[in-house]
């Protein structure tokens, strides 16, 4: 492979992964509604803390989206019996902040769907367990949340389905599989929402949805004798765009009338499915619902900007190796979401907007990175950023033997790469721009930033 092809391949992969890490591209922070937690803030003076009055509202608000029958969590928490026999475990995992999974530090960025328990909720759980996990009066038990069995957003304008059912083996490593699904539109459309419905929720860990305009996904699918095709990391080609993603607990949202995702008529969806073996042979045939904006409606495009560095090597034994990445916005925009991405030796990541006037605006900070709990972070309110703003990423890696997640024992030199045992430095930033013209300016800026050479090296970061 020549150097130019290698750079294009790196850019394709990183752009793909940046989009992949924006789990929920169709949630628009500025108009999203978030249900109230509903948990009592404190107990009445002298009253015993009970499951039905104080604890159930906490679990209903933070846990049962995943901890219920047929979902990805290993056990349900939808009844007193479910919770009481695990009371000590619940206190342990919540006090350590292992659960509910939410890695963004408080005070930097205000995000939709923050699952972090506050101090009052943590204290209620601990006191309930210490008192012997009493059940309380049935009259105090609030109803379970309502979960939609059908399409959350109503019947889609168009439904796409995997062309064939795929079989997942009973055990072994996680399965990453891509599937090509033609869209067959009569004209280009703007999407106000994309909703994914897993065919088998127990085995689907997450999915990523790109689209292709070159028939590359179709050709790759045709070459593989099994349904779909293999391609770790990216889809195997430079995607034309990103439609969104799904992970357990995600609730589909409709974008406001003034924003949308561009979908060309000849597009083929490249759907990456991440399957987790369950101990028995499983089958899946998932679907995607498309919701179109009305033709002729003025729509501001939503797109994704990857801020990445692909040229680094982390020395064996280094417990605090730092990598920087940056991208300068070529247009005015509004940031509505982002998601950092590293692998197993990732330790910390900070994302900052350096404004043209020299002021810095912290966007997110994660100081306890966990590869198994990557998340989408959608801002409660969009953040306007002017042209010339530099999006900066600082990633810190712990490649020492003290890192329990280090996949190498003893530690080895770790470079950028596609495998989970390699590393990445990447944050996808979801933005709204004024028009299609700005959308293409952003695409041009990405090509210039990541494919232009400087002193014989790809230009990636001004920190080098």
How many other CB atoms sit within 10 Å of the CB of residue 387? 13
110 found inside a domain:
no
pTM: 0.76
364 and 321 housed in the same domain: yes
Q: Which two tokens stand for residue 458?
A: 């790809």
Q: Give me the number of domains the chain comprises.
A: 2
Final residue of a structural domain among 292, 313, 347: 292
356 and 419 housed in the same domain: yes
Q: What is the CATH number of the domain that holds 180?
A: 2.60.120.230
192 and 213 housed in the same domain: yes
pLDDT > 70: what percent of the chain? 84
Statement: residue 373 has pLDDT above 70: yes
- Reported as a single tens digit per residue, the pLDDT across 98-115 is 899 889 999 999 988 788
273 and 391 housed in the same domain: no
98 found inside a domain:
no
More confident residue, 374 or 454: 374
**Range with the lowest mean pLDDT among 31-35, 142-146, 214-218?**
31-35
Whose CA is closest to 407, among 364, 351, 319, 343? 343
378 and 354 housed in the same domain: yes
326 and 387 housed in the same domain: yes
Final residue of a structural domain among 292, 318, 333: 292
* Predicted confidence band of residue 28 (pLDDT cuts 50, 70, 90): very low
pLDDT at 238: 73
Residue span of the structural domain in which 251 resides: 158-292
pLDDT at 262: 86
For the ranges 24-33, 124-133, 213-222, 418-427, the one whose mean pLDDT is highest: 124-133
* Predicted confidence band of residue 413 (pLDDT cuts 50, 70, 90): very high
49 found inside a domain:
no
Q: Is the distance from CB of 262 to CB of 190 less than 8 angstroms?
A: yes
More confident residue, 186 or 42: 186
366 and 428 housed in the same domain: yes
275 and 328 housed in the same domain: no
Starting at the edge strand that comes first in sequence, how are the strands of the sheet with 346-354 ordered?
321-328, 390-397, 346-354, 360-366
* Predicted confidence band of residue 26 (pLDDT cuts 50, 70, 90): very low
66 found inside a domain:
no
Whose CA is closest to 450, among 8, 72, 1, 3? 8
20 found inside a domain:
no
Mean pLDDT of the chain: 84
69 found inside a domain:
no
**Range with the lowest mean pLDDT among 100-109, 134-143, 281-290, 350-359?**
100-109
pLDDT at 451: 67
More confident residue, 257 or 421: 421
**Range with the lowest mean pLDDT among 12-16, 170-174, 192-196, 202-206?**
12-16
286 and 322 housed in the same domain: no
192 and 254 housed in the same domain: yes
357 and 237 housed in the same domain: no
* Predicted confidence band of residue 383 (pLDDT cuts 50, 70, 90): very high
pLDDT at 236: 82
* Burial of residue 282, with CB atoms counted within 10 A of its CB: 0-12 exposed, 13-18 middle, 19 or more buried: buried
Query: What whole-number distance in Å separates Cα of residue 443 and Cα of residue 445?
Result: 5
* Predicted confidence band of residue 304 (pLDDT cuts 50, 70, 90): confident
pLDDT at 249: 61
454 found inside a domain:
yes
67 found inside a domain:
no
**Range with the lowest mean pLDDT among 127-136, 143-152, 389-398?**
143-152
Whose CA is closest to 332, among 381, 283, 377, 388? 388
DSSP string, 243-260: EEEE-TT----PPPTTEE
341 and 444 housed in the same domain: yes
Query: What whole-number distance in Å separates Cα of residue 458 and Cα of residue 310?
Result: 9
Final residue of a structural domain among 237, 260, 292: 292
């Amino acid at each position: 492979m020549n150097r130019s092809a290698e750079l294009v391949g790196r850019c394709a992969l990183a752009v793909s992964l940046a989009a992949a890490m924006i789990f929920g591209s169709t949630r628009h922070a500025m108009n999203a509604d978030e249900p109230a937690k509903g948990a009592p803030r404190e107990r009445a003076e002298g009253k015993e803390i009970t499951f039905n009055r104080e604890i159930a509202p906490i679990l209903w608000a933070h846990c049962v989206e995943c901890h219920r029958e047929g979902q990805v969590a290993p056990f349900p928490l939808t009844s007193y019996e479910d919770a009481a026999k695990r009371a000590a475990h619940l206190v342990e995992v919540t006090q350590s902040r292992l659960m509910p999974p939410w890695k963004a530090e408080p005070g930097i960025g205000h995000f939709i769907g923050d699952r972090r328990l506050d101090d009052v909720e943590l204290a209620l759980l601990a006191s309930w367990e210490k008192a012997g996990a009493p059940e309380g009066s049935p009259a105090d038990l609030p109803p379970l949340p309502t979960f939609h069995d059908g399409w959350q957003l109503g019947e889609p304008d168009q439904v796409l389905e995997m062309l064939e059912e795929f079989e997942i083996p009973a055990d072994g490593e996680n399965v990453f599989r891509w599937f090509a699904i033609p869209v067959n539109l009569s004209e280009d459309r703007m999407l106000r929402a994309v909703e994914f419905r897993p065919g088998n929720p127990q085995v689907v860990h997450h999915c990523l949805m790109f689209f292709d305009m070159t028939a590359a996904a179709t050709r790759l699918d045709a070459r593989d004798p099994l349904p779909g095709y293999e391609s770790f990391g990216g889809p195997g080609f430079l995607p034309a765009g990103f439609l969104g993603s799904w992970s357990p607990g995600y609730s589909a949202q409709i974008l406001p009338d003034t924003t949308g995702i561009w979908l060309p008529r000849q597009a083929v969806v490249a759907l990456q499915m991440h399957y987790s073996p369950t101990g028995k042979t499983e089958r899946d045939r998932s679907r995607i619902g498309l919701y179109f904006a009305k033709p002729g409606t003025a729509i501001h495009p939503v797109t994704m900007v990857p801020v990445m560095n692909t040229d680094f090597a982390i020395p064996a034994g280094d417990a605090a190796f730092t990598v920087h990445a940056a991208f300068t916005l070529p247009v005015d925009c509004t940031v509505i979401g982002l998601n950092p991405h590293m692998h197993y030796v990732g330790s910390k990541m900070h994302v900052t907007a350096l404004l043209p006037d020299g002021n810095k605006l912290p966007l997110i900070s994660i100081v306890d990175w966990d590869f198994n709990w990557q998340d989408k972070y959608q801002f409660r309110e969009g953040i306007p950023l002017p042209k010339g703003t530099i999006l900066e990423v600082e990633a810190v890696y712990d490649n020492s033997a003290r890192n329990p997640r280090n996949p190498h024992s003893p530690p080895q030199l770790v470079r950028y790469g596609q495998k989970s045992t390699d590393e990445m430095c990447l944050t996808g930033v979801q933005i709204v721009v004024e028009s299609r013209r700005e959308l293409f300016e952003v695409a041009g800026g990405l090509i210039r930033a990541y494919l232009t050479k400087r002193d014989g090296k790809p230009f990636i970061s001004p920190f080098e």
